[in-house]
Amino acid sequence: MISGVIHEQLRADLLKFLLQEDPGADPELRKKQKILRRERIENAVVLIDTTSPTSIYPLDALKADIEIWEASSGIKVDIVETGSLGLISAGPVVGIQIPGRARLYYGPVQVGDLQGILGAITKQVVPEENLIGQMILGNQQAWEGIPSWEDHPFFKGQERRVMGLCGVVDPCSAADYIAWGGYRAFSKSIRFYTDKELMKLIEESELRGRSGSGFPAAQKWIRTAATVGEKRYVLCNADESDPGGYMHRILIESNPHIILEGVMLAAYIIGANHAIIYTRSRYRMAVRRLQCAINQARALGLIGQDILGSGYTLDIQLRRGPGAFVCGEETALIASLEGKRGMPRTKPPYPATQGLFGKPTLVHNVETLAQVPLIIGQGPEWYKRTGTESSRGTKLFSLSGKISRMGVVEMAFGTTVKQVIEGWGGGIRNGRPFKSVLMGGPSGKFMSDAQLKVPIDFDRFDEAGLVMGSGSLVVLDDESCPVNLMKNMIDFIQQESCGKCIPCRDGSRRIKDIFEMVTSRPAEERSHAALDRFKGITQVNDLATVMQETSLCGLGKTAPNPILSGFELFRQELEEHVFDRTCRAGVCQNLRLFAVDPVACNGCNICYIKCPEKAIIGSPRQVHYIVGELCTGCGKCHEVCKFNAIIVS
Amino acid sequence: MESEFSPILKKYPEGRRENLIPLLQEIQDTRGYIPESAISEVAEYLEMPAVKIFSVATFYNEFRFDPGGRFHIQVCQGIGCQVDGSERVRKEIGRLLGLNPGETSDDGLFSLEWVPCLGVCQEAPVISVNGKFYPKMSAVKIKALIDEIKNPAES
């Protein structure tokens, strides 16, 4: 599978898809297309979501289930590994299809469920438990009375463009992608259009970089193309390292070919013959799938010398990023590719004029490049139909934290964060009160209730002083402590700071030390401890501002964002930590104090057994007591108590 | 001179500096870590001072210079996990094993690593032991898990 071998016959067919003016007009090809799209199938098909979020589930047991059912029923089933529809909290999502009928998606599917579901469906009955909905492909017969998957609350109203084929196609199959119209934009472009004509389309589409700043892409492209040089590079930044975001990972693992096609088109348009995709080494599955996609594209002659007889030559390499958050910055990424420490340098010169090995280089992230095949294939007019005046198209967001439904959503610009959380996210988990959203990970900001109503749009966010980041949304409820999160975010920055410039290197460490003091209770409050804490917290604001203004690269400049926004929003809570030494969310471990509720305690003795500090006194069938001085606030008693008798204060 | 790493070095016949990171990655893929002998060999091959190679290798999170424990524990540091209480899990593991991230226990049984995101946010907080995931961890579950790893017969 990883080798990316494509059979001779299939290869010939796929090339026909790419080269013919209208493959739909040829009945022979149309039939093959239907088979490749799985609109028409011979055997029953089970599609299993095999992206990294589902790697935690026993997928092998699911497959074994299917085999057992196959043997007992005598009906043959083909198992297809697909990407993710985006909904990860209902994982693993499984699609089931029998000949002639629409596909049904279920999730979560547990081991043992599948036999029953398969048995019912083959008898033309649809079990409705854990059903997501049906997906009608081509002229399949719909299931009566069964809702469409697009009416499921997680999908309803999503504008699925980049994610369009995710969860529908086999990510390791170029044939799937081509049958759905993939690589046609590229094969047409290189044969019939000049780079100038195509550049015009990019300009007209008003595409903006999706990495956070929203820089107009065409400006970068034109500058790179205009710089004289014998070699140019396209760099695809697939090194998603934001600890709160996983949209790029899901996209790569679900449809690597769309990214590849974006890279190819970008390379052709700016006149580059070399492209490098830089992805995170830890993303094992993403690495495998990208490599497989590259191998297949090479086997089809879409990468290499004289592509499809157009005379254009392109080589694409996959490089594994050895893990450094700062390598998301373009000059640091380039340094890393050159075999150096991934440290950013001053700009200008921008990579557009002096990038990799001093050559003009176009750097974009995965999501931006994945838009390109859509723009070229469907035209800028179509592309601009979605979104707002200043931000065209769609944006991917990953939802995590205390939210009911987690996953990757693709929505049109102009939607509000409130809509994302309450609509697709299904609101706060367990109906708890909402506290805040951290948007953009360690370089993002906490958002207030009012800010949730700002439409998601590069310009509107700028005006409101908000940060979109790469698109991670982490939702906090009343049981999450923003102060603790602020500490952890700056701790992350402190670990990941490259150490080149002082404000970032030392500033982050200082802020972390101060927050460490604020969130933990020293065993004994010695003479200066309180004073240090007060002094520290009064200085944090200045420190953060200096960091913001004087750091060299984006990492240092944006690192104080969670701190500064948190200061504004959670002043009260922060003061409680500093002065009252309490954490109202009960998260900051060393600030929590536990007590036993004498009415609820029935003396089961479990807390006494589990307490690592021997801080609980009591014997069976007697009310227990926690010795405050011994308690370190680890919270184990709270976790094990089945009678809610441990109170946090 | 033939050595353990010659086959890897031979894949990069130009011996240029930009191949340094892929070289180190392949060495780590085959050996599980980067031994000191490999650094000096790479240094010779790329005609670079060994200290420069160390400087690059230590910059990135991926590279490790000791073989690690028999049970390699990775704790997710993603924000999703943090919101669901991964800090308590982290501290509890550190306390039980007496380890800081990046260290290996004296008996060679455990090594601990904090990773940015394991990508299983829906089951937060998550840890992984030798690649096997454990969902929805808590301080209490950690104790049981470590006991189970230490004495597999008793469970």
CATH (residue range A482-580): 1.20.1440.230
A400 touches chain B (CB under 8 A): yes
From the list B24, B63, B87, the residue facing A488 with the nearest CB is B87
pLDDT at residue A71 tops 50: yes
Could you tell me which chain A residue has the CA closest to the CA of B93? Answer: A634
Please indicate whether the domains covering A394-476 and A482-580 agree at the CATH topology level. Answer: no
> Structural domain of residue B43, as residue ranges?
6-59
* B89 occurs within a structural domain: yes
Q: How far is A381 from chain B (nearest CA, A)?
A: 36
* B65 occurs within a structural domain: no
* B131 occurs within a structural domain: yes
Distance (Å, whole) CA A514 – CA A633:
20
The SS3 assignment for A391 reads coil
Candidates A480, A54, A610; CA nearest to B142 is A610
Please answer yes or no on whether A474 and B83 come within 8 Å at the CB atom. yes
CA angle A281, A246, A428 (to 5 degrees): 150
pLDDT of residue A287: 96
Q: Which residues of A touch B63 (CB under 8 A)?
A: 322
CA-CA-CA-CA torsion for A375, A378, A382, A387, nearest 10 degrees? -40
Chain B residues with a Cβ under 8 Å from any Cβ in chain A: 16-22, 24-25, 55-56, 59-63, 77-80, 82-85, 87-88, 91-92, 95, 115-124, 126, 133, 135, 138-140
Q: How far is A575 from chain B (nearest CA, A)?
A: 21
Candidates A210, A306, A229; CA nearest to A272 is A229
- Tell me whether the omega of the peptide bond preceding residue A348 falls within 30 degrees of 0, making it cis: yes
Distance (Å, whole) CA A158 – CA A142:
22
* B64 occurs within a structural domain: no
* B66 occurs within a structural domain: no
ipTM entry: 0.94
Could you tell me which chain B residue has the CA closest to the CA of A92? Answer: B122
**CB B121 within 8 Å of CB A400:** yes
- Per residue in A377-400, pLDDT (tens digit) is 999 999 999 999 999 999 999 999
For range A115-141, the mean pLDDT:
95
pLDDT at residue A523 tops 80: no
pLDDT of residue A1: 42
CA dist list (Å): A183 to A17, A35, A207, A328, A437: 9, 18, 20, 27, 38
**CB A648 within 8 Å of CB A633:** no
Binning pLDDT at 50, 70 and 90, where does residue A18 land?
Answer: very high
For range A565-591, the mean pLDDT:
87
Could you tell me which chain A residue has the CA closest to the CA of B127? Answer: A56
List the single range of A122-126, A341-345, A592-596 with lowest mean pLDDT: A592-596
Binning pLDDT at 50, 70 and 90, where does residue B151 land?
Answer: confident
For range A436-461, the mean pLDDT:
94
CA angle A295, A296, A297 (to 5 degrees): 95
Binning pLDDT at 50, 70 and 90, where does residue A618 land?
Answer: confident
What are the extents of the domains in chain A? 33-151, 183-379, 394-476, 482-580, 593-648
A359 touches chain B (CB under 8 A): no
Give me the DSSP letters along A333-384: HHHHHTTS------SSSPTTTS-GGGS-EEEEEHHHHHHHHHHHHH-HHHHH
pLDDT cut 90: percent of chain A above it? 79
For range B134-147, the mean pLDDT:
87
**CB A422 within 8 Å of CB A428:** no
**CB A356 within 8 Å of CB A233:** yes
Phi first, then psi, for residue A618 (nearest 5°) are 155, 155
pLDDT, greater one: A633 or A119: A119
For range A31-53, the mean pLDDT:
94
Which tokens in the block code for residue A370?
A: 């994945």
**CB A347 within 8 Å of CB A331:** yes
Question: Could you say which architecture CATH assigns to the domain A394-476?
Answer: Roll (3.10)
Domain count across chain B:
2
- Per residue in A275-305, pLDDT (tens digit) is 999 999 989 999 999 999 999 999 999 999 9
A610 touches chain B (CB under 8 A): yes
pLDDT of residue A526: 65
A639 touches chain B (CB under 8 A): yes
- Per residue in A260-276, pLDDT (tens digit) is 999 999 999 999 999 99
From the list B55, B91, B117, the residue facing A243 with the nearest CB is B117
Q: Which residues of B touch A53 (CB under 8 A)?
A: 119-122
Within 10 angstroms of residue A35's Cβ, the number of other Cβ atoms is: 13
pLDDT at residue B155 tops 60: no
Kindly report the CATH number assigned to the domain that includes residue B78: 3.40.30.10
pLDDT of residue A108: 94
Candidates A273, A275, A272; CA nearest to A224 is A272
A426 touches chain B (CB under 8 A): no
Clarify whether residues B75 and B146 are in a common domain.
yes
pTM: 0.93
Give me the DSSP letters along A77-135: EEEEEE---SB-TTPSPEEEE-TTB-EEEE-S--TTHHHHHHHHHHTT----TTEEEEE
pLDDT, averaged across chain A: 92
- Tell me whether the omega of the peptide bond preceding residue B125 falls within 30 degrees of 0, making it cis: yes
Q: What is the assigned CATH class of domain A593-648? A: alpha beta
Distance (Å, whole) CA A623 – CA B7:
69
**CB A118 within 8 Å of CB A46:** yes
pLDDT at residue A224 tops 80: yes
CA dist list (Å): A88 to A159, A398, A482, B125: 18, 10, 25, 15
Candidates A622, A620, A626, A623; CA nearest to A638 is A626
Clarify whether residues B40 and B83 are in a common domain.
no
Binning pLDDT at 50, 70 and 90, where does residue B119 land?
Answer: confident
pLDDT cut 70: percent of chain A above it? 98
Clarify whether residues B87 and B142 are in a common domain.
yes
pLDDT at residue A2 tops 70: no
Clarify whether residues B82 and B47 are in a common domain.
no
pLDDT at residue A33 tops 90: yes
pLDDT of residue A524: 55
For range A85-111, the mean pLDDT:
94
Q: Which residues of B touch A476 (CB under 8 A)?
A: 83
Clarify whether residues B143 and B93 are in a common domain.
yes
pLDDT of residue A612: 81
Phi first, then psi, for residue A305 (nearest 5°) are -85, 145
Surface-to-core class of residue B106, CB atoms within 10 Å of its CB (0-12 exposed, 13-18 middle, 19+ buried):
exposed
> To probe the interface with B, which of A49, A85, A280, A281 has the most B CB atoms within 10 Å?
A281
Give the DSSP H/E element, type plus range, for residue A235. Answer: strand A233-238
pLDDT of residue A590: 73
pLDDT at residue B25 tops 80: yes
pLDDT at residue B1 tops 70: no
CATH (residue range A183-379): 3.40.50.11540
Q: Which residues of A touch B119 (CB under 8 A)?
A: 52-53, 55, 246, 249, 283
Say which residue the tokens 């441990």 belong to: A646
Fold (topology level) of A33-151: Glutaredoxin (3.40.30)
